[in-house]
Amino acid sequence: MGAVLLLLVVSAVTFAIFFLVPRLGGQTADQLATQYVGKDANPASVAAIKQNLGLDQPVYVQYWEFIKGLVVGADYKFGPDATHCSAPCFGYSFKSHIEVWPQLQQRIPVSFSLAVGAAVIWLITGVTTGVISALRKGKPIDRFAMFIALAGVSLPIFFTGQILLALFVYEIPIWESIDYVPFTDNPAEWAWHLMLPWISLAFLFSALYARLTRAGMLETMSEDYIRTARAKGLKETTVVAKHGLRSALTPIVTIFGMDFGTLVGTAVLTETVFSLQGIGAYSVQAIKDNDLPIVMGVTLVAAFFIVFCNLIVDLVYAAIDPRVRYS
């Protein structure tokens, strides 16, 4: 229930920003509509578009229509016959007059695949590096790992991405091209073709997670219960993996949930560098085009993922830490 309310607030805020901010700058419905007509913006076309997109209505009516479309669907007429857009109807693109939801459906898997693969890589490499670093604190391997991590955190994705592209697609063409092949078509191709984007994205996050894990491990390994575990005669590997890591991972899980949920809708740079058609890149185009329904759609989908991932985090958290289970 809270989640639904949150999404409603997000949608209302997005809507308000779209209409109010340009209006503060003197944007009228006509000027708005002019942007959705092509190069030849004659007054007749502008008026026709304005009316057909409902831009002549008060903003709250437009918002109400949008929400209504989401819940019960809506009818539109961008051709000889009216067509029904069934719920959840995110409306039609102001620019291309194409239904938004099917477009989102095609692009969500791209962004999701990008995030999933990168997440797997960064969790494995980041956590492993962090643990090793923590256990070898101050040793050369720790210093080296933390140096790489610092580089990873500092280097922007469009830099690492371009370098990887230049190296492995053009200099030594290990990859013919970077593409999205649907997982359902061919899982191996799916993974292979997304490998470079995953690596560049994972590099950034691994670095972050290595540092987080290291800090968490250092803290945990000095806990009394770790001493207890050792006093019981447990093997050091058991002490680290079972007693240390589990506690050290708890905050990681929370941050991971946030990061992953956010990443699905916002991997704009990665999508742009690697020319992947995810919702991040889609939203950038939509913002450029002032295409409200797409902006709304992407915002809601992105918000949904964030809310959803946080829900999952809460569940996982309860599974990990019995202290929060009953509260």
Q: How far is the CB of 176 from another protein (least distance, A)?
A: 7
Token couple for 199:
């690596």
**29 is a contact residue toward another protein (CB under 8 A):** no
In whole angstroms, give the CA distance from residue 146 to residue 144.
Answer: 5
In the three-class reduction of DSSP (H, G, I as helix; E, B as strand; rest coil), residue 209 is classed as helix
For another protein, give the closer residue by CB, 152 or 244. Answer: 244
Q: How far apart are CB 275 and another protein at their closest, in Å?
A: 4
Write out the H or E segment, with its range, that includes residue 71. helix 59-72
R_g of the chain computed on alpha carbons: 24
* 23 binding another protein? (CB under 8 A): no
The correct pick among 61, 72, 225, 241 for binding another protein (CB under 8 A) is 225
What sign does the dihedral 169-175-181-187 (CA atoms) show? Answer: negative
C-beta of residue 72 within 8 angstroms of C-beta of residue 87: yes
Which C-beta is closer to another protein: that of 248 or that of 306? Answer: 248
Beta bridge pairs of residue 74: 85
Q: Which of 11, 62, 103, 299 binds another protein (CB under 8 A)?
A: 103
The binder of another protein chosen from 2, 5, 40, 58 (CB under 8 A): 40
The H or E element that residue 10 is part of is: helix 2-24
User: Measuring CA to CA, how many Å separate 61 from each of 65, 67, 68?
Assistant: 6, 10, 10
Q: Which of 4, 58, 237, 323 binds another protein (CB under 8 A)?
A: 323
User: Cβ of residue 229: shortest distance to another protein, in angstroms?
Assistant: 7
CB of 189 to another protein, least distance (A): 14
Closer of 125 and 266 to another protein (Cβ): 266
Of 27 and 262, nearer to another protein (C-beta) is 27
Smallest CA-to-CA distance from 19 within 318, 303, 215, 292 is with 292
The two structure tokens encoding residue 142: 């720790």
Q: Partners of 283 in the beta sheet? A: none
52/128 with CB nearer another protein: 52
Is 106 near another protein (CB under 8 A)?
A: yes
> Residue 58 interacts with another protein (CB under 8 A)?
no
- Residue 235 touches another protein, criterion: CB under 8 A: yes
Orientation angle between helical segments 100-135 and 140-154, nearest 10 degrees: 160
Q: Any residues with CB less than 8 A from the CB of 223 and at least 6 apart, and which?
A: 247
Task: Give contact residues for another protein (rule: CB under 8 A).
Answer: 31, 34-42, 44-45, 48-49, 51-52, 77-81, 83, 92, 96-98, 103, 106, 162, 165-166, 169-170, 173, 176-177, 223-225, 227-236, 243, 246-247, 272-275, 277, 281-282, 285, 320-323
